[in-house]
Amino acid sequence: MSVTAPQVPMDLSGDPRRQRRERRVRSLFFVAAALSIIISAAIVLSLAGEAWGFVTAVDPASYFENGWLPRRGRYSILTIVWHTLMVSGIAMVVATPLGLGAAIYLSEYARRNVRRFLKPTLEILAGVPSVVLGFFALNFITPNVIQPLYAADRSNLLAAGIGVGILIVPLVASVSEDAMRAVPRALREASYGLGAKKWHTSLRVVFPAAISGIVAALILALSRAIGETMVVALAAGTSGILTWLPDSSGLTMTGAMADLAIGSDQVTSATAVQVNPFQSLFFVGLMLFVITLVLNVLSERVVRRYRQKY
Amino acid sequence: MAETTSTAPTTTDLVRGTLEGRRVNPVNTLVSGLLLIALLSSLLVLAVLLADVFGKGWGLLTERGADFLTTPLSPNAVDAGIFQGVMGSIALTAIVIVVAFPLGVAAAVYLEEYAPTNRLTQFITTNIRNLAGVPSIVYGLLGFSVFVNLFSGATGGRTVITGGLTLALLVLPIMIITTSEALRAVPTALREASMGVGATRWETIRHHVLPVALPAILTGSVLTVARAFGETAPLLLSGAVLSLYFAVPPEAGFVSLMTEQSYTALPMIIYNWARQPQEEFVALTSAAIIVLLAMLLIVNAAAIVARDHFERKST
Amino acid sequence: MTQEPVTEEHRTVNADPTPSATDAAADKLRDVVADRETEGPTGNSTIFGLRGLTVYYADFRAVKEVTADIRENEITALIGPSGCGKSTVLRCFNRMNDLIETARVDGSLTYHGVDLYGKNVDPVEVRRRIGMVFQKPNPFPKSIYENVVYGPKIGGMKGNLDDIVEESLRKAVLWDEVKDKLDESGLALSGGQQQRLCIARAIATSPDVLLMDEPCSSLDPIATLRIEELMLELKQDYTIVIVTHNMQQAARVSDRTAFFTVDVSDDGQRTGKLVEFDVTNRLFTSPSKTETEDYITGRFG
Ligand SMILES: Nc1ncnc2c1ncn2[C@@H]1O[C@H](COP(=O)(O)OP(=O)(O)O)[C@@H](O)[C@H]1O
Ligand SMILES: [Mg+2]
């Protein structure tokens, strides 16, 4: 072998054409990713302007009077917020036991092949459009489940709550199942090692260990329930009068938005209307945006805390 | 004895087995029974829902046959069809695919393959997750402000293009999240192999990463697009018509379907019919729901089966 | 000469063996190098010059101040206990560390006298010239043919691709086994064949260096033997740098060996450093540092 060093100095500068293409592609993809920021900004801006118009035109004291009746210039935030709370509360009462039960069963009890069959079925339930569940709540749940037991109107908030609850069961189930499956095997084995029974291990060991993931799942589900529109728009009717019980029709935040959007309440009579009802839509939209954002961030926080544990 | 999750019995299991024998533990049975009931009742709801809808709508569907799909809307239940709804939904879905799929994949590729870990990236990722949680009706307001009003010159106002773009923005974050997951599942060793022989980032992505991730990306995208297909709330605000009279008649052709300010969609029709007080509309609504669910179930089931197939292959 | 599985040997090394076992291990190594010349091949010019090379992962200093000259057409082995930074150093040679975002390099590393981390250096070009074979065989999930042809194709290499495939597979001593099934998936091959396919894939871009990071650690003894024979053959045309924690493998194939170890500072920081770099024969028979001697005789730790 010869002693000679390489005669020509090495050129490691590479192919400029390929480098240019690389830079182009990269910036293109960056733009696509950055678009999400523009979308967020657009949401906030498009909501804020009109919402501000609403805030300046409507006396805040009237937020707490009875009745969301835009046609008559009455904007009771209290009414629609309370109805929203009732619906999402009922939804959580329905979805929490069903969703968590399903999650524990799938994660701790189901054999592989059973899981293989049941899990996709849950996913199909998750794929049912909310307008279909709305129809089901209005035409099946109310007449066949609620009315035989409880003197409720044809349109009522209870049916809407149950419908929304069914809608969020798959979400609760899948997110909390993930949390439970993330619990290390060693923990379960330690529990068995101490002579614990299966039920004790699943409910007293695995479940608490996964609790932050489960809480995050529930917060996420609550956020989804608050923002759900079609079930409520169909099952809860269009009454703008405040009701403390879920037995009658009532507009929720989303229900009020849908109602304004389809125009049944847009007729502005000359009497006592100082504000364009359409502006209230943006105000409610902004409230909805902020509430769900806060809940989502909260659930994210909770999840991050539980990730650190393992 | 209850069975454990582990595949091979541990010593503990064996010892416990001999100590307990085959004795059934009543608490175990009760708990697992209750859990199973929780799971099965959600599935029961699905079954009841289907039975109810089929019970109410199947008769009408068989009686009217394909005519139901090809007849235009009408205020009279006897001769009302869903033609414009089906056409509108197909057009909306096409726009969603064309807009959201490439944008979603591109954004996910940037975030997973290129983005440095810094504040901006962190901000973008968090922002995308939060966008995925924004209620769909709020996207409707966005569509109204931006596509109906601000860019009405480009979209033509309350056209199917506006609706499609609104739905595309709605599903974009979900598209990015599912694609990111698919990319993250591609082993680093594959990227190293490709870069190791002198491929650039983009060559590596295009020739190796994307082909491997494609099945997962596609199944995820199909499920996401299916979600857009069933969405109603955003369309309420971004210009879909509800009126039984104003939807574009079928004779008008595809171009005017795209450009006229009077599109509608299948879920919109269902919503509208479900609100009608007349008893005849219940059957009509149910029939339309059967059509919607059939379209969705086919797509969903295909995607889930395909994903299971790929998952089994890769393990 | 024995062909023990790598893991087996590694365990003996760290297991604080009895004196007699220790001597036996050292004797075994001496046997391996006994028939090799005491002086390394002389006159081969420097291909990689490392001067105070220090690598960080974020704030963590993984290896510090490595200074060495790696020569052309030789096999250089990097040995040392796990975590001492062998892979880290190896991955500097073809800028593979660029793929790890937190990795940062200090000091200088030249390739044929050119600063590898210099301004005008394109890592893509570097990797075409300096091929790499990884610990776990990682063929593309594509046909055998496409695996080999990929590098030349994207590199815009002129010439008949079929010829390149055949030549590369022949050099990797895989041709006879796969010539009738070039369309079959590379993943369908056995582990040893996959690793040779990866070597063929690396050769196909006509690099002048091959970097190998524990290329045999996931292979059985027979496959390991084939790869070792292959390395000795490839030495004619390529410079090879191999990371191994199988000392016998280093003793069998390499011309020069660099021994790395971990320094543990007072505050518990673990930093890899180069202890000794010498002609393999000398390093194993008469190491100049006690740390080296302790390691090769199994007294390490
Ligand atoms: N990507 C990385 N990020 C952070 N630390 C790393 C990374 N890769 C390796 N290290 C650390 O650097 C040190 C050297 O690692 P490595 O070069 O892989 O050692 P070896 O190959 O000798 O076993 C180890 O402490 C390891 O934990
Ligand atoms: Mg290593």
Give pLDDT tens digits for A29-52.
Answer: 999 999 989 998 888 888 888 888
d(CA C219, CA C137): 9
Going by pLDDT thresholds of 50, 70 and 90, the confidence category of residue A1 is: very low
Q: Give the model's pLDDT for residue B73.
A: 80
Strands A68-69 and A74-75, how do they pair? antiparallel
Q: CA nearest A280: which of A54, A5, A43, A63? A: A54
Which residue in the set C73, C116, C124 is minimally distant from A1, CB to CB?
Answer: C73
User: Does C201 reach chain B within 8 Å, measured CB to CB?
Assistant: yes
Give how far Cα A254 sits from Cα of A277, B211, B234, B255, C128, Å.
15, 42, 11, 33, 59
* 3-state SS string for chain B: CCCCCCCCCCHHHHHHHHHHCCCCCHHHHHHHHHHHHHHHHHHHHHHHHHHHHHHHHHHHHHHHCCHHHHCCCCCCHHHCCCHHHHHHHHHHHHHHHHHHHHHHHHHHHHHHHHCCCCHHHHHHHHHHHHHHCCCHHHHHHHHHHHHHHHCHHHHCCCCHHHHHHHHHHHHHHHHHHHHHHHHHCCCHHHHHHHHHCCCCHHHHHHHHHHHHHHHHHHHHHHHHHHHHHHCCHHHHHCCCCCCCCCCCCHHHHHHHHHHCCCCCCHHHHHHHHHHCCCCHHHHHHHHHHHHHHHHHHHHHHHHHHHHHHHHHHHC
CA-angle at C186, arms to C184 and C192, nearest 5°: 125
User: Which chain B residue's Cα is nearest to C211?
Assistant: B196
A207 or B74: which carries more pLDDT confidence? Answer: A207
Question: Dihedral through CA A105, CA A106, CA A109, CA A110, nearest 10?
Answer: 130
Of B206-215, B266-275, B296-305, C285-294, minimum mean pLDDT range: B296-305
Using a CB-CB cut-off of 8 Å, the residues of chain C touching A3 are 43, 45
Going by pLDDT thresholds of 50, 70 and 90, the confidence category of residue A265 is: very low
A257 CB-near residues (< 8 Å, 6+ apart): A229, A281, A284, A285, A288, B137, B141, B237
Judge if the beta carbon of residue C86 lies within 6 A of ligand 1.
yes
**Mean pLDDT, rounded, of chain B:** 84
Q: Where are the domains of chain A?
A: 60-306
User: Which chain B residue's Cα is nearest to A131?
Assistant: B271
User: Does A183 reach chain B within 8 Å, measured CB to CB?
Assistant: no
| Shortest alpha-carbon distance between residue A162 and chain B (Å) | 11
CATH classification of the domain holding B159: 1.10.3720.10
- In a mutational test of the pocket of ligand 1, which residue from C7, C56, C60 has the highest number of ligand atoms less than 8 Å from its CB? C60
For residues B139-145, average pLDDT:
90
What is the sign of the dihedral through the CA atoms of B36, B39, B45 and B47? negative
Q: Is A65 helix (H, G, I), strand (E, B) or coil?
A: coil
B3 or C161: which carries more pLDDT confidence? Answer: C161
Interchain contact, B141 vs A285, CB within 8 Å: yes
What is the sign of the dihedral through the CA atoms of A124, A130, A134 and A139? negative
How many CA atoms does the CB half-sphere of B254 hold within 13 Å? 5
User: Which chain A residue's Cα is nearest to C74?
Assistant: A1
- In a mutational test of the pocket of ligand 1, which residue from C13, C14, C87, C262 has the highest number of ligand atoms less than 8 Å from its CB? C87
Within 111-150 of B, beta carbons closer than 8 Å to A belong to 111, 114-115, 123-124, 126-131, 133-142, 144-146
Query: What is the interface pTM, i.e. ipTM, of the complex?
Result: 0.88
| Shortest alpha-carbon distance between residue C94 and chain A (Å) | 12
Give φ, ψ of C299 to 5 degrees: -90, 10
pLDDT exceeds cutoff 80 at B2:
no
B157 or C73: which carries more pLDDT confidence? Answer: C73
pLDDT exceeds cutoff 90 at B147:
no
Q: Are C10 and C245 in contact (CB under 8 A)?
A: yes
Q: Give the model's pLDDT for residue B6.
A: 45
Tokens of B248: 């574009």
C27 or A142: which carries more pLDDT confidence? Answer: A142
Q: Give the model's pLDDT for residue C26.
A: 67
Interchain contact, B138 vs A281, CB within 8 Å: no
Judge if the beta carbon of residue C139 lies within 6 A of ligand 1.
no
Within 195-254 of B, beta carbons closer than 8 Å to A belong to 200-202, 223, 226-227, 229-233, 236-237, 242
Which residue in the set C44, C111, C125 is minimally distant from A14, CB to CB?
Answer: C125
DSSP-derived letter for residue C56 is: E
pLDDT exceeds cutoff 90 at A71:
no
In this structure, is residue B59 part of a structural domain? no
- CA C26 from chain centre, in angstroms, equals 23
Using a CB-CB cut-off of 8 Å, the residues of chain C touching B195 are 96, 99, 124, 127
User: Does A64 reach chain B within 8 Å, measured CB to CB?
Assistant: no
In this structure, is residue B34 part of a structural domain? no
User: Does C86 reach chain B within 8 Å, measured CB to CB?
Assistant: no
Interchain contact, A228 vs B35, CB within 8 Å: no
Judge if the beta carbon of residue C49 lies within 6 A of ligand 1.
no
Report the top-level CATH class of A60-306: mainly alpha
Residue to substitute from B172, B271, B291, interface A, most A β-carbons within 10 A: B271
Q: Which residues form the domain of B110?
A: 71-240+256-314
Within 273-312 of B, beta carbons closer than 8 Å to C belong to none
What ligand has the least distance to the C-alpha of C103? 1
Q: Give the model's pLDDT for residue A86.
A: 95
Q: Give the model's pLDDT for residue B1.
A: 40
pLDDT tens by residue, C239-288: 999 999 888 889 899 999 999 999 888 888 899 999 999 899 888 888 88
For residues C48-65, average pLDDT:
92
| Shortest alpha-carbon distance between residue C181 and chain A (Å) | 33
What ligand has the least distance to the C-alpha of C81? 1
**Mean pLDDT, rounded, of chain A:** 86
Q: Is C197 left (phi over 0), alpha (psi -120 to 50) or beta?
A: alpha
* Number of domains forming the structure of chain B: 1
pLDDT tens by residue, A238-264: 888 888 989 889 999 999 999 888 765
For residues C37-64, average pLDDT:
84
Going by pLDDT thresholds of 50, 70 and 90, the confidence category of residue B310 is: low
In this structure, is residue B138 part of a structural domain? yes
In this structure, is residue B21 part of a structural domain? no
Give the distance (Å) from ligand 1 centre to CA of residue C123.
21
Within 272-291 of B, beta carbons closer than 8 Å to A belong to 274-275, 282, 285-286, 289
| Shortest alpha-carbon distance between residue A3 and chain B (Å) | 29
Q: Give the model's pLDDT for residue B160.
A: 86
Give φ, ψ of A246 to 5 degrees: -85, 15
Q: CA nearest A78: which of A286, A263, A251, A290? A: A251
Element (H, E) at A208: helix A207-209
Q: Give the model's pLDDT for residue C52.
A: 92
d(CA A176, CA A16): 50
For residues C6-16, average pLDDT:
40
- CA C218 from chain centre, in angstroms, equals 14
Interchain contact, C134 vs B117, CB within 8 Å: no
User: Does A46 reach chain C within 8 Å, measured CB to CB?
Assistant: no
Tokens of C239: 């410079």
d(CA B208, CA C157): 20
Judge if the beta carbon of residue C57 lies within 6 A of ligand 1.
yes
Judge if the beta carbon of residue C83 lies within 6 A of ligand 1.
yes
Query: Number of CB pairs < 8 Å for A and C?
Result: 46
Q: CA nearest C217: which of C242, C182, C187? A: C242
d(CA B298, CA A123): 13
Q: Is A30 helix (H, G, I), strand (E, B) or coil?
A: helix
What ligand has the least distance to the C-alpha of C258? 1
Q: CA nearest A173: which of B49, B45, C78? A: B45
